[in-house]
Chain A
């Protein structure tokens, strides 16, 4: 083995070299006996290995557990992952149903008319659906995020967004239908 190969191997397998006895390291051991420079390099590795192995394990502060438990005392209890998922899904479903109901009710209030007119309204509303859907998407995402994060302020903000945006969207749609009609 060359010095270059030996040094690369010392770095790559320093633990194995330290333990010794590996048959595939016999060449390396022979080289170390003959080469003082590589032997010095091996000693540095051994020093590094020994220093890491001898690094003492220290006991933690006596009040660490107490400090942790005091810190978590004011936190809400963690909910299992499955609960969070189903609760989020249920919340999203309820939000979607409420959104559809609010939009429909708002359309009836702001744009009443004959059956044919209503059909035309529905078709036109579908064209405007992108606007409402975009707003509803933002609201749903905010609600889902709030449900998962369990932050009261975020939940309140999401509720405002959830209620206000679909109504604004429906109102906008109805206003456009009126001007078109």
Chain B
């Protein structure tokens, strides 16, 4: 498929976009917490991928390469904002099951979203790639250009930061 895109097959590229749009969109949305920004970043990700796909080496995993483009753009956008973006998105899909349990779960997710949003951009990128997008540490290292030990250390620090934020919020709520 990628070879076909490299050969100039735009139809093949649209198939790639279809295949990865959900993942790129969710990565952008989770990092930016803003639908308009996420839409811009998702679209720009695929445009950049199209422009750079000639330099993509056959045999390398495509997903981390694409995630690298997307997360770099999202980090750039966060830095442009110049501050941690603590606003939450509008609505969440209602989970199935007991409504009371759904509300409780939604609150828990909202607290965690705020904790993720309070992270510095580089840490937020790692948390989203690891715990939300499900990339392995090796894939994250490939996607960010960090060493494997750096990825693990930063994720460790990110978890501590999120926990502290969460504890502050829990204490505040109580």
Are B170 and A44 in contact, with the CB atoms below 8 A? yes
Query: How far apart sit A56 and B7, CA to CA, in the bound complex (Å)?
Result: 37
Which range holds the interface residue count of chain B? 35 or more
Are A11 and B160 in contact, with the CB atoms below 8 A? yes
What would 11 A/B residue contacts be, using CB atoms closer than 8 Å?
A: A12-B156, A48-B115, A52-B131, A58-B25, A58-B29, A64-B39, A65-B17, A65-B18, A65-B21, A73-B10, A78-B6
User: Quick one: which of B6, B17, B42, B132 contacts A69, CB cutoff 8 A?
Assistant: B17
Compute the total of residue contacts between A and B using a CB distance below 8 Å. 125
Are B30 and A75 in contact, with the CB atoms below 8 A? no
Are A55 and B5 in contact, with the CB atoms below 8 A? no
Residue interface mask A39-68, B partner, CB < 8 A = 1: 000001101101111111111110011011
Are A68 and B166 in contact, with the CB atoms below 8 A? no
Are A75 and B109 in contact, with the CB atoms below 8 A? no
State the interface size on chain A (CB cutoff 8 A). 35
Q: Which chain B residue lies CB-closest to A56? A: B93
Q: Which chain A residue lies CB-closest to B115? A: A48
Are B163 and A48 in contact, with the CB atoms below 8 A? yes
The A interface is mostly helix, strand or loop, or mixed, namely: helix
Q: Which of B43-51, B72-80, B136-144 contacts A (4 or more CB under 8 A)?
A: B43-51
Q: Does B83 contact A (CB under 8 A)?
A: no
Residues of B within 8 A of A14 (CB): 159
Residues of B within 8 A of A48 (CB): 112, 115, 159, 162-163, 166
Q: Does B167 contact A (CB under 8 A)?
A: yes
User: Quick one: which of B8, B57, B105, B167 contacts A81, CB cutoff 8 A?
Assistant: B57
B residues sitting closer than 8 Å to A (CB atoms) are 3, 5-8, 10, 13-14, 17-18, 21-22, 24-26, 29-30, 39, 42-43, 46-47, 50-57, 92-93, 95, 105, 108-109, 111-113, 115-116, 127, 131-132, 156, 159-160, 162-163, 166-167, 170
Are A72 and B93 in contact, with the CB atoms below 8 A? no
Q: Which chain A residue lies CB-closest to B30? A: A55
Are B113 and A51 in contact, with the CB atoms below 8 A? yes
A residues sitting closer than 8 Å to B (CB atoms) are 11-12, 14, 44-45, 47-48, 50-61, 64-65, 67-69, 71-73, 75, 77-81, 83-84
Residues of B within 8 A of A54 (CB): 95, 105, 108-109
Are B47 and A72 in contact, with the CB atoms below 8 A? yes
Query: How far apart sit A126 and B21, CA to CA, in the bound complex (Å)?
Result: 59
Query: How far apart sit A144 and B95, CA to CA, in the bound complex (Å)?
Result: 56
Q: Shortest beta-carbon distance, B94 to chain A, in Å?
A: 9
Query: How far apart sit A56 and B132, CA to CA, in the bound complex (Å)?
Result: 9
Are A11 and B54 in contact, with the CB atoms below 8 A? no
Are B51 and A75 in contact, with the CB atoms below 8 A? yes
Query: How far apart sit A24 and B161, CA to CA, in the bound complex (Å)?
Result: 26
Residues of B within 8 A of A79 (CB): 6, 8, 54
User: Quick one: which of B55, B113, B163 contacts A11, CB cutoff 8 A?
Assistant: B163
Residues of B within 8 A of A44 (CB): 163, 166-167, 170
User: Quick one: which of B43, B51, B109, B131 contacts A78, CB cutoff 8 A?
Assistant: B51
Q: A71-B43, A84-B54 are in contact. Are A61 and B95 (CB under 8 A)?
A: no
Query: How far apart sit A70 and B39, CA to CA, in the bound complex (Å)?
Result: 14
Are B111 and A47 in contact, with the CB atoms below 8 A? yes
Residues of B within 8 A of A60 (CB): 21-22, 24-26, 42
Residues of A within 8 A of B24 (CB): 60
